[in-house]
Amino acid sequence: MNFLDLKDISERDMELLNPTSPEKIIAVGRVLGLREGARVIDFGCGVGGVLALWAQHFGVAGTGIDLRPLACERARQRLAERGLAGRIQIVCGDAAAYPFEPGAFDVAACIGATFIWEGGFHAALGRMKEAIRPGGRLAVGEAYWHRSHVPPDYSRGETSVHTESELLTMARENGFDLEYVVRASQDDWDHYESENWRGLLRWLDENPAHLERDEVIRHLHHSQNEYTRFAREYFGWAIYILKPRQSL
């Protein structure tokens, strides 16, 4: 069973696939100045939770792209149930390779999925910048090191994670200023991880004789061990709102 299949299982009951809340996603929308008719593109949109909230509360239109067929199916179903299917298009495919119209969007978002680009956060900003119109914004959800000293046995396996200072430097190198931060709380993290564990355990209850059951158990235990030993103490996560720097 590959990692994406495991995520389909663990995220089965989740609407937001990151350590955040509907209230914080709506707050991000307010800071972005979202309004009726604003166009948004969401790279790695998951099950469409962010787009659904922004369409429902602000009247935005736009496009979400995700690689996982099941996530795309869930996103389309959610949008249809809320009467939002006419506003938001869901594209199933590689979001990093999606041929968007340059400068066509008021906001480009990537909430917890900059890993889809080779080069991670830095490469994501460079590509997303091409999607926004003059005066547009980026909304980027990203993990960061919460502490300056991380056990080497852990940090060596998380080479894509940076300090916030490094993220800020990369933003400036791409021509952005940091406008606002909406940070995950410890409760947000605990809720997110627990929802993943509960999804895995529900699947195990439903599939007592599945040939890949042991692999799911190993994934569950690895996730819990990593979170309780390291991630809960050393990982932070936030949504960064980035504004293109104005020429003087």
CA–CA separation, 183 and 72 (whole Å): 27
Rg of the chain on CA atoms, in Å: 18
CA–CA separation, 209 and 221 (whole Å): 19
The model's pLDDT over 185-200, given as tens digits with 9 standing for 90+, comes to 999 999 999 999 999 9
- How would you classify the pairing of strands 235-244 and 132-145? antiparallel
Find out whether 209 and 20 touch, Cβ atoms under 8 Å: no
Does 229 have pLDDT greater than 60?
yes
The model's pLDDT over 167-188, given as tens digits with 9 standing for 90+, comes to 999 999 999 999 999 999 999 9
In the chain, what is the greatest distance between 2 CA atoms, to the nearest angstrom? 66
The model's pLDDT over 70-94, given as tens digits with 9 standing for 90+, comes to 999 999 999 999 999 999 999 999 9
Find out whether 106 and 136 touch, Cβ atoms under 8 Å: yes
The model's pLDDT over 23-71, given as tens digits with 9 standing for 90+, comes to 999 999 999 999 999 999 999 999 999 999 999 999 999 999 999 999 9
Q: Closest Cα to residue 220, out of 23, 72, 76, 10? A: 10
Mean pLDDT, range 240-247, rounded to an integer: 88
Find out whether 20 and 141 touch, Cβ atoms under 8 Å: yes
Find out whether 111 and 139 touch, Cβ atoms under 8 Å: yes
Instruction: Tell me the C-alpha to C-alpha distance, in Å, between residue 245 and each of 118, 135, 171.
Output: 24, 9, 10
pLDDT at 157: 75
- How would you classify the pairing of strands 61-66 and 105-111? unpaired
Band (pLDDT 50/70/90 cuts) for residue 152 is confident
> What are the structural domains of the chain?
15-185+236-244 (3.40.50.150)
Structure tokens at 143: 């993990």
Go through 179-209 and write b for each residue having 16 or more CB atoms within 10 A of its CB, e for each that does not: ebebebeeebbebbbebbeebbeebeeeeee
* pTM for this entry: 0.94
Look at the chain and count its residues.
Answer: 248
